[in-house]
Amino acid sequence: MNIGILEHMEAPELREYLRFLLWHYRVVDGFWFLCVEKEYGRKAAEHFDEVVWGKIAGMSAKDLVKRFNIKERGLRGLEKAFQYLPWTMIVGYHVSKNGEDELLVTVPECPTQVARVKHGLPEFHCQDMHQTEFESFAHAVDPNIKVECLLAPPDHPPDLFCKWRFTLKK
Phi, psi of 157 (to 5 degrees): -75, 165
What's the CATH number where 14 sits?
3.30.1380.20
DSSP 3-state of 67: helix
The number of folded domains in the chain is 1
pLDDT in tens, 108-144: 999 999 999 999 999 999 999 999 999 999 999 999 9
Task: List, for residues 36-94, the tens digit of each pLDDT value.
Answer: 999 999 999 999 999 999 999 999 999 999 999 999 999 999 999 999 999 999 999 99
Confidence tier at 13 by pLDDT (50, 70, 90): very high
- Give the pLDDT score at 1: 79
Print the domain residue range for 147: 4-168
Instruction: Say what the pLDDT of residue 100 is.
Output: 84
pLDDT at 170: 79
